[in-house]
Amino acid sequence: MTAPIHTLSNGLRVVADPLPGVRTFALTLAVEGGARFEDERRSGWSHFLEHLVFKGAGDMSARDIVERIEGEGGTINAATGYERTSFEVRALAHSLPLAVRVVAELVRRPTLDEAEIVREKDVVAQEIAEAFDTPDDHVFEMAQARAFEGQALGRPILGSVDSLQPIDRAALAAWAGRLYSPDRMVLAASGAVDPDQLVALAEAAFGDAVSQPTVRPEPARFQGGAATLSRRIEQANLVFQLPAADAHDPILPAQRLFVEILGGGMASRLFQSAREARGLAYAIDAYGETYEDAGVLGVFAGASADRAAELAELTAAEIVGLAERGPTDAELARAKAVLSAGLFMSDESLAARAGRLAVQTLIYGAPVATETTDARLRAPGASEVAEAGRRMLSAGRAAAAVLGPRAAGPAARAFERALFAAA
């Protein structure tokens, strides 16, 4: 069964997922809004705002916010992505009223103190510098920039020092009003939670909030291309990407199986061929990123610079081979078992449940039962998995990024040449 949705008059949706026998709850407030909703001059503002609300909200100082939650044994956190911003609280059952009240204050009545804005610009500048200094973080930004060049999806979620510079209290308050609009919010709680109580708390905390118009993101366009950055480090960091299915595409379950078979674990094709058989990489794995109207299949690997191009060619060959010939029966069975197990394991995490309920409601309009998702993952056959791969290749575009010693640079173009020459 799926959890029912209660919608407030202003459009905010409330989803309760009571579970017997537990003494804690997980609460998630998910907002349909993030870095993808920004224009270039406001790049990073959503993430910056998420930082600022924790510096004071309502009658609470920065210290009060965490002390009120932690004083009752709970935890509070937040995250900003391209399409969503989320606030999360974990606590004992009796703390649900406090959790809803604190989260509501963060998004509805942030203090946005000018002195804190100045200080936080320095903090985020350090975060930006840290990401740049971390090769296996920065290489993902490089690949994303090539995949979605000139678009919000291609810019770092953190923004840049220059794009954050114009922020002042008035500008940030206006951005908060647009971003944290109740009709684009879902409040979900899982665990020791009473549905009627949660709805009443939501009504009291959010009921008088007024929805604000927002500009929808432009449709995503996977561009592709190669990026290299030479640094004097020991290992080359590589990311390869292909355009993939969006969150609403019926081929998505088959694509998820394709990703798992390609590089989802130690039994995957890439791990066995690149690491075990040829020793080309210590770490290599495939992943999928799914957006409302776009998607990415990616491969990350670390390799010695002098073998980076060889690894790129092998990666391309494995992608093409799986797309052309499909998986074996054993590979398909393993992938289905792994994804199914992961799905039901996450069902045993209150935080995962609450987060999933909120996000699915934003994307699909309602939560999707775990059993339904499992059935969809188990349905595709080998031919459907192969078709998912062929569809990704049919665009004729790929993005590649290489960060490391200069000798590794040719791997970026080697991936694209091998991929489409083989295809």
Q: Could you say which architecture CATH assigns to the domain 225-422?
A: 2-Layer Sandwich (3.30)
**What are 410's two structure tokens?**
């040719």
Give the containing element (helix H, strand E) for 286: strand 283-290
Distance CA 100, CA 104 (A): 6
**The CATH number of domain 5-206 is 2.40.240.10:** no
**What are 75's two structure tokens?**
């935890």
Helix axes 169-179, 114-133, angle to 10 degrees: 70
Q: Where do you find CATH 3.30.830.10 in the chain?
A: 5-206, 225-422
Task: Return the pLDDT at 242.
Answer: 98
Q: What is the mean pLDDT of each run of 10 residues along the chain (423 residues)?
A: 87 97 98 96 97 97 97 98 98 98 98 96 96 94 97 97 96 95 97 98 97 88 96 95 98 98 96 96 96 97 96 97 98 98 97 98 96 98 98 96 96 95 66
Of 313, 311, 268, 309, nearest in space to 287 by CA = 268
Distance CA 233, CA 251 (A): 40
Active site residues: 50
Task: Return the pLDDT at 1.
Answer: 54
